[in-house]
Amino acid sequence: MSAIPSSIPLRNDLLGEEPYGAPQLDVPVCLNVNENPYPLEPDVVSSIAQRVASIAAELNRYPDREHIELRQAFSDYLAKESGTRLRVEQLWGANGSNEIMLQLFQAFGGPGRTALGCDPTYSMYPEYARDTFTTWKLAHRHEDFTLDVDRTIDAINEYGPSMVLVTSPNNPTGTVLPHDEIEALLAACEQAPVTGAPEGAHPILIVDEAYVEFRDPGTPSAVSLVPKHHNLAVSRTMSKAFAFAGARVGYLAADEGIIDAVRIVRMPYHLSAVTQAAALAAFEHTDEQLSTVAHLRQTREQTASWLAQQHYHGENIRVAPSGSNFVLFGTFERRETIFQDLLDRGVLIRVVGPEGWLRVCMGTDEEMARFRQAFTEVLALHDQA
Ligand SMILES: Cc1ncc(COP(=O)(O)O)c(C=O)c1O
């Protein structure tokens, strides 16, 4: 509960609001925030230490505001990872993709503007909308969590949003958005007007690819569409597959016009010299940083099929097909009790998504064994109840 006294003039629309965030609990098995569970290799750690040491004496100076060297590293990484070479002017970094998203809302949202999302989806989007006074509208997904493209296009035409947000793979469902559906949305955005904007403006499509490195090999990334579409912005992060959540580095791949719009609203020197140095060091070890991704993909497949063989009150558990490093499963009459019973056994997962569903993130082999053991016990407990 917050302790904000009424004598403090909090913004009216924030009265009664609580800070958002997954619980940070000290438990043996944390499978709740979709991190890569494997720690960094010693040679990556020493590169980070060396890079940071080499700039430490210059911390009296502000960092490179335009973080050019890091933007070049994003370009090199994406050329390798997605097969698309972008120019530095088409790339932008920030403190996590959370900050990238907030900057997009600051640049393209605001009073009189609407952002459109496709729920169930990432629960931070409405918060960015609230914080920037942007109206938040939804086009619901199909029952199987795939995108309802027709409904989304209808909503684009009805609301005239300045921003359309889709997430692929989606959080919390894991659903991958096929390339042709992204192209259909882009085509709709390129025609639609924007309510509250000067004539001739069209919505931008934002594809949040926070988990995209976990996709099946050979699947294209939306980054490959950036050179052809002025209204496309692809958000990426080093927090998930890249195993760098603690460093807080996200980035944006988009047309130069979108990057220049974001540069208007960014805080001066938003990306510290320490962050830039650490990220550059990590990019020197891209292969090592991504070396656990194939294994985590395998862990996901094994966990999904194991969960699908489990029963709750005589019924098979449902598992949403996932292209990410987490799995959404359900449905449970009272999901909070399942969550709590797992927590009592030292396993922290997440109560998130549509009513009745729970999300588990892929951990190490040992952590997943503990999850399976705890979940088996919890199911037996509930069967007796
Ligand atoms: C869909 C999605 N986008 C963005 C983020 C933000 O990640 P970060 O700020 O660590 O890059 C998350 C984090 O969980 C996420 O699930």
Taking the centre of ligand 1 as the mean of its atom positions, its distance from the CA of residue 241, in whole angstroms, is 11
Q: What CATH number did the domain enclosing 22 receive? A: 3.90.1150.10
251 and 114, same domain (yes or no): yes
Taking the centre of ligand 1 as the mean of its atom positions, its distance from the CA of residue 210, in whole angstroms, is 6
Is the CB of 210 inside a 6 Å radius of any atom of ligand 1? yes
- Mean pLDDT value of segment 188-215: 97
User: Taking all residues of the chain, what is their mean pLDDT, rounded to a whole number?
Assistant: 96
Tokens at 186, concatenated: 């882009």
DSSP category for residue 95: S
Q: Is 109 inside a domain boundary?
A: yes
- Mean pLDDT value of segment 87-114: 98
Q: What's the confidence (pLDDT) of residue 243?
A: 97
224 and 372, same domain (yes or no): no
Number of independent structural domains in the chain: 2
| Residue (of 259, 241, 294) closest to 108 by Cα position | 259
- Give the residue from 289, 309, 338 where a domain finishes: 289
Phi, psi for residue 350 in degrees, rounded to 5:
-135, 130
Q: Is 6 inside a domain boundary?
A: no
The amino acid occupying position 85 is R
How large is the C-alpha radius of gyration of the chain?
A: 21
| Residue (of 85, 123, 131, 86) closest to 104 by Cα position | 131
3-state DSSP: the chain helix, strand, coil percent, rounded to 5? Answer: 45, 15, 45
Taking the centre of ligand 1 as the mean of its atom positions, its distance from the CA of residue 325, in whole angstroms, is 13
171 and 243, same domain (yes or no): yes
Q: What's the confidence (pLDDT) of residue 1?
A: 59
Q: Is 311 inside a domain boundary?
A: yes
251 and 367, same domain (yes or no): no
Percent pLDDT > 70 in the chain is: 99
Q: Is 193 inside a domain boundary?
A: yes
Residues facing residue 326 across a β-bridge = 361
Q: Is 32 helix (H, G, I), strand (E, B) or coil?
A: coil
284 and 346, same domain (yes or no): no
pLDDT in tens, 330-375: 999 999 999 999 999 999 999 999 999 999 999 999 999 999 999 9
Q: What's the confidence (pLDDT) of residue 20?
A: 85
Is the CB of 171 inside a 6 Å radius of any atom of ligand 1? yes
156 and 106, same domain (yes or no): yes
56 and 189, same domain (yes or no): yes
20 and 50, same domain (yes or no): no
The amino acid occupying position 274 is V
Residue 21 pLDDT grade (very low, low, confident, very high; cuts 50, 70, 90): confident
Is the CB of 239 inside a 6 Å radius of any atom of ligand 1? yes
H-helix or E-strand spanning residue 371: helix 365-384
Best mutation site among 97, 145, 242 for ligand 1 pocket (most ligand atoms within 8 Å of CB): 97
Is the CB of 34 inside a 6 Å radius of any atom of ligand 1? yes
Cα 225-130-107 angle, rounded to 5 deg: 45
Number of H-type helices and E-type strands within the chain: 12, 14
Q: Is 273 inside a domain boundary?
A: yes
Taking the centre of ligand 1 as the mean of its atom positions, its distance from the CA of residue 103, in whole angstroms, is 14
184 and 239, same domain (yes or no): yes
The two beta strands, 232-237 and 204-208, are: parallel
CB neighbourhood size of 203 (10 A): 28
* Residues 221, 218: Cα–Cα separation, whole Å: 9
Of all protein residues, the one whose alpha carbon is nearest to atom 7 of ligand 1 is 97
Q: Is 321 inside a domain boundary?
A: yes
Taking the centre of ligand 1 as the mean of its atom positions, its distance from the CA of residue 265, in whole angstroms, is 20
Is the CB of 103 inside a 6 Å radius of any atom of ligand 1? no
Q: What CATH number did the domain enclosing 222 receive? A: 3.40.640.10
Cα 216 from chain centre: 18
211 and 337, same domain (yes or no): no
C-beta separation of 210 from 97 below 8 A = yes
Residue 205 pLDDT grade (very low, low, confident, very high; cuts 50, 70, 90): very high
- Mean pLDDT value of segment 219-244: 97
235 and 377, same domain (yes or no): no
Handedness of CA 209, 212, 218, 223 (dihedral sign): positive
Q: Is 343 inside a domain boundary?
A: yes
Q: What's the confidence (pLDDT) of residue 165?
A: 98
Taking the centre of ligand 1 as the mean of its atom positions, its distance from the CA of residue 98, in whole angstroms, is 6
Q: Is 318 helix (H, G, I), strand (E, B) or coil?
A: strand
Is the CB of 279 inside a 6 Å radius of any atom of ligand 1? no
Q: What's the confidence (pLDDT) of residue 3?
A: 84
The two beta strands, 91-94 and 250-254, are: antiparallel
| Domain boundaries, position 66 | 42-289
Percent pLDDT > 90 in the chain is: 94
- Mean pLDDT value of segment 173-177: 98
Q: What's the confidence (pLDDT) of residue 92?
A: 98
Q: Which of residues 22 and 255 earns the better pLDDT score?
A: 255
Cα 181 from chain centre: 19
74 and 107, same domain (yes or no): yes
Position of tokens 């409405």? 126
- Give the residue from 265, 289, 313 where a domain finishes: 289
Q: Is 356 inside a domain boundary?
A: yes
- Give the residue from 236, 267, 289 where a domain finishes: 289
Is the CB of 237 inside a 6 Å radius of any atom of ligand 1? yes
Taking the centre of ligand 1 as the mean of its atom positions, its distance from the CA of residue 198, in whole angstroms, is 31
